[in-house]
A and B are shown apart, each in its own frame.
Chain A
Amino acid sequence: MEALYENFQFLTWQHVVMWLIGAVLIYLAIKKDMEPTLLLPLGFGTIMVNIPFSGAVTQTLENGEQEIGALSTLFSMGISNELFPLILFIGIGAMIDFGPVLSNPKLMIFGAAAQFGIFFTLCTASMFFGINDAASIAIIGAADGPTSIVVAQKLGSKYLPAIMVAAYSYMALVPIIQPPVIKALTTKKERLIRMPYEGRQVSKTTRILFPIIITMLAGIVAPSSVSLIGFLMFGNLLRECGVLNSLAETAQKVLANLITIFLGITIASQMQAEQFLKLDTLLILGLGLFAFIFDTAGGVIFAKVLNIFLKKKINPMIGAAGISAFPMSGRVVHKMGLKEDPQNFLLMQATGVNVSGQIASVIAGGLILNFFM
């Protein structure tokens, strides 16, 4: 009989706090529809691994032997070697239509400007953390979960779970984080600037050559980014080549879904109370928010500076879409434009900038790996 309740004595308040965190993640996923594909498995996994002596994670027995847990096995097979996030990138690449940015390539420059938050946060975080951890925290500003995981894992950061929670939570919170920053940095007159869409037909050849050339270019500058950018562009090549439609469809749906199921719950294996409940975690969440704010500011301010020199003015709000959170960021800018002027349609321009943010954030991740590996 005692065997039924003896584990209760090992239950601590930290375990209960982690259950609550798990419950909050599940609540946000279901009730608020915040990145449910990741926050729900992450929340449930958090509860699973915070049961005293949980068999889901590897435990060291009294005799010194190790009892291997399923989630720990998944972690070493799929996250330690960056396999899961990279395979997910194939799916993401297959989902992305680079058309809007290919038809107006100049928009890509805003994707570059909106990575400012990553590097500003790197300097800020380095005041509190070692440089590898600071770089891993800064990459939350890439607004791209797989890139954050790969960079943090390659740099050996012990803060991977907190980084992942911050990256995915803030991506879901883009509609709340970005509008006040954009409004604070722009005047009503600037937000009313109209930008007629001048997109043109993109040839099939361009669509096919683009992912190949991007992989080569980014790889030459930042060799560490080859796996990141390569898997993303491989997915896109499947989509655009026109002869592998069933593979592209599988990558977009089945493959991405399968990996997503395991990604969240596997990361949760690292969300054990003793590793997660630290002041450092709060600071990382704060720095992640800081990175998102300065990414947004970087894009908007860059557009405002360009406007000083341009005859045909740009609506500076589109600069904010340069963060990689796709498609949320593009939609936020489009909605803000419509709110100011119901006839001002910025969707195509904002989507183009948003897609270029996806490329730029992966390049930023590659550069960071080049600097610190």
Chain B
Amino acid sequence: MTFNPWAFVDNLSYMGLGMLGIFVVIGVIILVTMLLNSLTSKKDK
């Protein structure tokens, strides 16, 4: 095990990409779920 403080900065891009990825996927899931709810709510009544 070695201590390399610069690795934190080097890997910040993964943090940005990862959080962006999660928000995008969850955002799409929210939209799809809202769409499903609106499309199916009348049908199942």
- B-contacting residues of A (Cβ < 8 Å)? 101-103, 105-106, 108-109, 111-113, 115-116, 118-120, 122-124, 126-129, 131, 134, 200-206, 209-210, 213-214, 217-218, 221-222, 279-280, 283, 356, 359-360, 363-364, 367-368, 371
Contacts and interface: CB of A to CB of B under 8 A. Distances in A.
A359 B1 contact: no
16 contacts: A105-B37, A108-B33, A109-B30, A112-B19, A119-B15, A123-B14, A128-B4, A134-B7, A201-B41, A205-B43, A209-B40, A213-B36, A359-B29, A360-B22, A363-B22, A364-B18
A106 B32 CA distance: 11
A205 to B, nearest CB: 4
Given A127-B8, A363-B26, A203 B18 contact: no
Given A205-B36, A205-B43, A367 B30 contact: no
B11 to A, nearest CB: 5
B3 to A, nearest CB: 6
A108 B5 contact: no
A148 to B, nearest CB: 16
A105 B30 contact: yes
A106 B37 CA distance: 12
B33 A102 contact: yes
A203 B41 contact: yes
A363 B36 contact: no
Given A108-B29, A205-B40, A206-B37, A371 B1 contact: no
Interface residues of B, number: 34
Contacts of A101: 33
Given A108-B26, A221-B21, A280 B1 contact: yes
Nearest to B37: A206
B41 A112 contact: no
Interface in B10-45: 10-12, 14-15, 17-19, 21-30, 32-34, 36-37, 40-41, 43-44
B33 to A, nearest CB: 4
Given A127-B5, A214-B29, A217-B32, 10 more contacts: A101-B33, A111-B26, A112-B26, A129-B1, A134-B7, A134-B11, A209-B36, A210-B33, A217-B29, A363-B21
A115 B32 CA distance: 21
Contacts of A217: 25, 28-29, 32
Contacts of A200: 37, 41
B18 A371 contact: yes
A127 B5 CA distance: 5
Contacts of B21: 221-222, 363, 367
A205 B35 CA distance: 12
A111 B43 CA distance: 29
Contacts of B2: 128
A209 B29 CA distance: 12
Nearest to A126: B7
A115 B25 CA distance: 13
B32 A221 contact: no
B10 A126 contact: yes
A316 B33 CA distance: 23
Nearest to B21: A367
A47 B21 CA distance: 42
A159 B44 CA distance: 50
A128 B4 CA distance: 6
A28 B38 CA distance: 47
A124 to B, nearest CB: 6
B30 A106 contact: yes
